[in-house]
Amino acid sequence: MMKELYFAVAEFKARLSAVKQEMVKRGIDVLLLSEPPNQNYITGYNSDSYYTPQMVIVALDREEPMWVGRLMDRISATMTTYLGDDSIRAYPESHVHSPVLSAYDAMADIVKEIGGEKARIGVEMGGYYYSARAHADLVRALPLAEFVDADLLVGWIRLVKSPAELAIMHQAGQIADTAMQRVNNMVEVGVRECDIAAAIYQQQICGTLEFGGDYPCYPPVLCIGERSVAPHAVWTDQPVQNSTVINLELSGCRHRYTVFLARTIVVGTPSSAFIDLSKIAVEGLNVCLESVRPGRTCSEVFIAFHEALARHGVEKEGRIGYPTGVAFPPAGGERTASIRKDDRTVLQPGMVFHLMPGLWSNDVGITITQSFAVTELGYEPLTMTPRKLFVK
């Protein structure tokens, strides 16, 4: 059977080695990974099966990690991971959405099989896919084990991308650019908001002439008209009116790697005050990007942006950037570093951020952003859409 692997096996093994080193530092014998991005990062697993319980188990004394999931999804694990047959396990279909049987009992049996009955077990307590029931069932099934929070253990390792990952993210950025251009070409008075959203989805999947895209992990954010002041508004079926502000955030996704892009489009003639605000937003964005250097902290980058805005009497206290990489629904951002005033994370080459210094007030909102990778000398943009206000 042909394997659908987008990285060399040696890269997967290097990732696993880094995870095990961190496990040793924390005194963790067995790590249970419930988050789909982490499962993908460690094994390559890629399937829309995360609505049922699934885990990747990493044990210090076992060479390969183990995938455990629904029986019918075992074939996807065989196709998309580098794992051997003995490292791909499944629980019976009778455990799927059962009010009586728990898939986590089957997972606990595998933990016992590999000698983890009395182990110190790390679990992702803050993950989107680790439920209260999951934890309760595992604790009940492994009463002699000690459970510790290992949330973001893999996330911090994922923060620095390899050259192979960055190559894929450049492709994701091209898909985002193509989708944004599609919107900019079609937006005009009378076009329905839902048709704009449909065009975005179509272009995200079609990708470019050279390569296609994956389904996004997050829907496009269409903040239109009165909703342009809401950072995460959704579209309606209403037509676009004249003198309308559209704040649009979308993404490109390639092999589950996500790159974000946001722009503001004005249909009609923007006011002089809004044009001035857009210039301030772009100035702050560019100053912030030029401040990016390996060795600087996320806080120092934020301060550069804050000072650029302060010269114009504008303030923004919230974070202005977050890391991205491999992602599954419901979110594309990684939950580790943030570009904000109190984050002391030191920038390293290979880190990827979506610099999202959106400005919102009670009566106006503007979003002009840039996804970038930290390089040895500064930054490299992952999208090429001009950093400016678009007027139609």
Mean pLDDT of the chain: 96
Instruction: Select 163-391's CATH number: 3.90.230.10, 3.40.50.410, 3.30.1330.10, 3.40.50.10860.
Output: 3.90.230.10
Q: Give the containing element (helix H, strand E) for 165.
A: helix 163-186
Rounded to whole angstroms, the Cα distance separating 284 from 276 reads 12
**Share above pLDDT 90 across residues of the chain, in percent, rounded to a whole number:** 94
Closest CA to 289 of 380, 178, 209: 380
Look up the CATH architecture of domain 9-158.
Answer: 3-Layer(aba) Sandwich (3.40)
Determine contact, residues 176/220, Cβ cutoff 8 Å.
no
Rounded to whole angstroms, the Cα distance separating 169 from 51 reads 26
The encoded tokens of residue 370 equal: 């840039």
Band of pLDDT at residue 68, cut at 50, 70 and 90: very high
Rounded to whole angstroms, the Cα distance separating 131 from 118 reads 22
| Radius of gyration for the chain, computed over Cα atoms and rounded to the nearest angstrom | 23
Angle between helices 298-310 and 272-290 (to 10 degrees): 150
- The pLDDT of 284-298, averaged and rounded, is 97
CA distances to 71, 77, 146, 209, 311 from 103, in Å: 11, 17, 20, 42, 57
DSSP 8-class letter at 214 = P
Residue scoring higher pLDDT (204 or 4): 204
Sorted by sequence, the CB contacts under 8 Å of residue 335 that are 6+ apart come out as 126, 152, 155
- The pLDDT of 321-337, averaged and rounded, is 96
Residues of the chain with CATH 3.90.230.10: 163-391
Using DSSP, how many helices (H) and how many strands (E) does the chain show?
A: 10, 16
Q: How many CA atoms lie within 13 A of 156 on its CB side?
A: 12
pLDDT value of residue 316? 87
Determine contact, residues 215/175, Cβ cutoff 8 Å.
no
pLDDT value of residue 3? 80
User: What are the DSSP E strand ranges found in 205-362?
Assistant: 221-224, 244-254, 257-267, 321-323, 352-355, 359-360
- Is it the case that residue 217 has pLDDT exceeding 80? yes
